[in-house]
Amino acid sequence: PSLNLEKRTAMNDFNAIFQLCEALGTAAFAVSGAMVAIDKGTDIFGVLLMAVFTALGGGTLRDVLIGHFPPRMFTNFHYVLLSCICALAVFIIARIFKERYIERERLIEQVNNVFDAIGLGIFAVSEAGFADNIFLTTFLGTTTAIGGGMLRDVLLQEMPFVLKKRVYAVAAIVGALGYALLMRMGVNGVMAYALGMMATIAVRILATVFRWNLPKAI
């Protein structure tokens, strides 16, 4: 009985950490999506919509792939609300400080990259329910991490960032695969989650700083 209690306690602690990180990842991706939408000149509705799609689009694609209906995006409004609040905050700041916002475009891009890396890292290791299947865990984690950004870029009529620059998907794969392998090796769930997340964030930041790109044919 005491062992079962310890397992339940550990599971509850992991779920609490996961929910906190998921909220942080949602906020980070929402801010990133809002910044991209503002840069493309969309109105306030476009900013809100792109923030929600960036933050929750990948998770929705994941739910469709695993047959979870309706997708969690439509049953848990808290994350949609969080995305909208973050996007609205970015919109208000950009509108009030319009001239400074435009002048500091380079700095804003760097801030956007940081938020994007955080969201990518958190969602790349979000598939705790399929630890016994390394390929599925990696595939779903990567889809969750990059799917929202791809939807955003398609809607903004841009080539998805993941297909052209900064080893974006590779960073998500590294974290998702690392997490899956660590779980298979019996590493503590929280430790595996943290290491996988940090691996993705590190690769993404390093790729941005050192301008790492995958080779192109032309």
The C-alpha R_g of the chain, in whole angstroms, comes to 18
Instruction: Tell me how far apart the alpha carbons of residues 26 and 82 are, in angstroms, rounded to a whole number.
Output: 8
- The 10s digit of each residue's pLDDT in 25-41 is 999 999 999 999 999 99
Residue type at position 115? F
Give the global pTM.
0.90
For the chain, how many residues are written? 218
- Give all strands (DSSP E) within the chain, no chain letters: none
- The 10s digit of each residue's pLDDT in 197-208 is 999 999 999 998
